[in-house]
């Protein structure tokens, strides 16, 4: 029974890790397309994947796309800011894309300060920005 439980736990971790991929689109630019709700477990995997792959790929830029994240609450926003801070310590510049009207309203209502974070409503705009800046 313990062996079966361990296999299930390993499979869940693999699924979670695959659900937060770092997609390298150029030599120096990567994208993390987030899909679905972010809970504490997935937020930790986001941190691990972003730091590991950002460093391994020697990325200068990482775009975190929030378009398919249905809800941004305090915990999710806090974790995203932690990921951005950690990536900046590695020298990786971060851009947020997929900021829909409801996400923008929630972030403002939560009192989040996005002054030093570049944001875009679409992934296409973010990619264009990063390509011009790089």
Tell whether the model's pLDDT for residue 14 goes beyond 70.
no
Query: Which tens digit of pLDDT belongs to each residue from 58-102?
Result: 999 999 999 998 888 888 888 888 999 999 999 999 999 998 888
Neighbours of 41 (CB within 10 A): 11
pTM of the model: 0.86
| Cα-to-chain-centroid distance, residue 7 | 27
């Amino acid at each position: 029974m313990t062996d079966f439980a361990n296999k299930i736990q390993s499979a869940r971790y693999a699924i979670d890790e695959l659900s937060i991929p770092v997609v390298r689109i150029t030599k120096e630019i990567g994208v993390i397309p987030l899909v679905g709700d972010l809970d504490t477990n997935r937020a930790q995997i986001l941190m691990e994947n972003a730091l590991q792959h950002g460093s391994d790929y020697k990325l200068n830029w990482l775009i975190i796309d929030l378009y398919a994240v249905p809800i941004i609450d305090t915990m999710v926003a806090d974790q995203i800011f932690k990921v951005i801070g950690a990536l900046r310590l590695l020298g990786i510049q971060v851009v947020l894309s997929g900021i829909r009207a409801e996400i923008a309203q929630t972030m403002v209502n939560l009192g989040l300060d996005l002054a030093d974070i570049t944001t875009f409503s679409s992934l296409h705009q973010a990619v264009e920005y990063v390509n011009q800046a790089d």
